[in-house]
Amino acid sequence: MVPRNFKCDCPGHPLWRPIIIFLFGLFLILFLMFFGTTLPAMGNPMGLTLFSETPPRPRPQNLDLLSLELVTHIDRHLITIPAGESIAQRFFQQFPFHLTEDPLTIQNLNLFLQSLDRYTSYIPPQPKSITPLLEKETTHAMGTLLLPWENHVLMVPAKGGAAFHEGLEDAQFLRAIQGKKISDFNVDHVAAQIDNAFLHNRYVQFSFMHPISNQEMTLPLHQKDFFPAPVEINRITINPLYSVSSIRILKFTSHQTRDALEAAIAAITHTTHHLFLDLRYCLGGDYHEALDTASLFIPQGILMAKTLDKTGRFQYYHSIPGRKILNRPISILVGPHTASAGEVFAQIMADSAGNTSLVGAKTYGKCLSQRDFPLSNGGYLRLSNLQLFGADDSICKSATENPNIYIPPPRLFDTKEVIHTIMKSATPPIPPPHRKPAK
């Protein structure tokens, strides 16, 4: 505000002119503040630039604020690191300047975590599932599982998925996508190729090769809404005269797998006395659910397994009440993709269920249990927090190193071949469980 007694003695300079200049300067400052203007490079003749000519570089996702949180969880719970050994020094030696200069990216963090334990990983908030198969929610997908095998990618269909209904009834080696032969056998890269193909096409052409006969076939597949189940019943035609039913366990899902398996066994009781439980593609799941599911076959109170945590404390697990399956011969199919909770279930059944044989090949050997620890940013840290043991103190893979009937891959991937081998090898031979009426 100009004082009332103010008087400009400068000739030719009216009083309103400095006021106008002041208001214009204030307007310019406010404009620059609210519209994000940037100063140009030196030498720009314009003096000011209202819009940046080059967009700002995207900043890498910085995890620096989670550093201490991550280290604390690892020190307290990661079973593969001996008690008393602090991981903090190794962490900050690998990332010495990340708190001030170098950002700790997701890629760098996971490389570090896998150097400690190959099953430990950081999961960012709301991760995108490339080819979802086993989720609690309905997903839009083909309903397949991609698994590595030597220089191949094995595609395994789930019974309720689109791929199964369009002709992919058993596991096949994936050879080409949209006519382009697969040369990179990394499962994540192949899954990304599939997702990219579906971005531009409703139907995608897939070429497959049979694991034994090497016979090739091509199928157009699409995606649809699909609710994956942890347990499914599959019908295998041995020859034109009869077929058998097998029950596949894809995952031990908390409060689901035990009930689903009990219902599946009841559904096929009238067709077969011999049970075929297929765990060849069971990647694991909830450890306690695997124990509860095994209790369907084991008398109450039997010691089934035990675990060891980071503090050196053992936890013992006994079978719970509710045994339902009595005096039935059982064949459990296992293979290199049977892991974690699947291996625990197979060992318990072989040790305690009675009249149970393991069929297939050596399992994956992942005898660790993982737990997800939530983080303040909405992501979580998946850590191996328990070492798994059998009732006799053996590690859980020991029961599956020497199966009763050995069937090596890739023969193991042909379900019909596996069931046929079991029926021929049994003593006495397994009778045809279900004969189709003659026409």
Residue 292: pLDDT band with limits 50, 70, 90: very high
- CATH number for the domain whose boundaries are 139-224: 2.30.42.10
Q: What is the DSSP string of 367-388?
A: -EEEEEEE-TTS-EEEEEEEEE
**Domain boundary assignment for the chain:** 21-50, 65-123, 139-224, 231-425
Lowest mean per-residue pLDDT among 119-133, 297-311, 321-335: 119-133
pLDDT at 279: 97
Q: How many CB atoms lie within 10 A of CB 348?
A: 28
Whole-number percent of the chain with pLDDT over 90? 44
H helix intervals, 144-256: 162-165, 187-200
160: buried, middle or exposed (CB in 10 Å: 19+, 13-18, 0-12)?
Answer: middle
The residue type of 320 is I
Gap between the Cα atoms of 107 and 224, Å rounded: 32
Q: What is the pLDDT of residues 97-111, one digit of tens each?
A: 544 445 567 888 888
Of 20-29, 61-70, 309-318, 395-404, minimum mean pLDDT range: 61-70
Nearby residues of 15 by Cβ (< 8 Å), 6 or more positions away: 2, 6, 8
Residue 30 in this model has a pLDDT that exceeds 60 = yes
Mean pLDDT of 4-32: 62
What are residue 49's DSSP bridge partners? Answer: 38
| Lowest pLDDT segment from 129-143, 203-217, 234-248 | 129-143
Class of the CATH domain delimited by 231-425 = alpha beta
Distance separating alpha carbons of residues 417 and 210, to the nearest angstrom? 12
Chain mean pLDDT for the chain: 80
Give the separation between CA 397 and CA 391, rounded to whole angstroms. Answer: 13
Residue 59 predicted with pLDDT over 50:
no
DSSP 238-307: EETTEEEEEEEE--B-TTTHHHHHHHHHHHHTTT-SSEEEE-TT---B-HHHHHHHHTTSS-TT-EEEEE
